[in-house]
Every structure is written in C-alpha cells, then in structure tokens.
Amino acid sequence: MEENLSGVDDWIAEAACRNQNTANFFILRGDPQQRAKRIEAYAVCKVCPVQRECLDYAVINHELGIWGGTTDRERRIIRRNWTPLSEKRAKLKGYSQFA
Ligand code: SF4
C-alpha cells in the first residue's frame, strides 16, 4: 500500500465501512439508537484492514465521529502521545530528519 502524505491516502479504498451506513459512524447527540449504532460501527472497524491508517488520519486531522474504532473524545486523549504512522515508518527506514 502506498502512502500519500497529502492527507487523502490510498487506504480509503480498502476501508471496511466504504459501503456502510455512515449514520452509524457520525451519531448525533441525543439519538436514542446511539449505543446500538456505536456497537455496529465498532464491529465494522474491528475487522477493517486499514484501522491503523484510519486512526492515524483521524488523530492528525481532528476528525469527528467514529474513525479507526474510536470516538473523537477517545482520540482527544490519544492525540497527546500520538506519533503519526508516516513518522514511525520514516524512522524505521532510517530517514535522518526524524531520527
Ligand atoms: S477503521 Fe472503521 S472508520 Fe476507519 S476505515 Fe475502517 S471501518 Fe471505516
């Protein structure tokens, strides 16, 4: 999988939620089906082959809704200690700008 550092990555083509109901991923406050929708969305994310890429994208871009099996509230906490995938991969390749 090639990574496009401009922000919109190729991983989106492999997303398990591509043909799913987006209402389960962007749940409105006060929705009486909130819990059921969240559980359904999490189940899709759990088997998604690009969950890590999706989470990375959502953390970096401050997305709202469920991305990478997390809510935006959970990602606010995650963001404090987050190292983007591109940075981790660069370190593995030995690029000096991230060393
Ligand atoms: S992790 Fe969840 S929200 Fe992200 S692409 Fe996969 S199914 Fe969609």
Mutate to test the pocket of ligand 1, among 8, 10, 67 (most ligand atoms within 8 A of CB): 67
- What pLDDT does residue 97 have? 53
Q: Which ligand 1 atom minimizes the distance to the CA of 58?
A: 4
CA angle 79, 44, 52 (to 5 degrees): 35
Note whether 64 and 29 are within 8 A (CB): no
**pTM of the full structure:** 0.79
DSSP letters of 46-81? HT-TTHHHHHHHHHHHT--S-BTTB-HHHHHHHGGG
pLDDT tens figures, 42-86: 999 999 999 999 999 999 999 999 999 999 999 999 999 888 887
Centroid of ligand 1 to alpha carbon of 32 (angstroms)? 23
Domain coordinates of the chain in residue numbers? 7-81
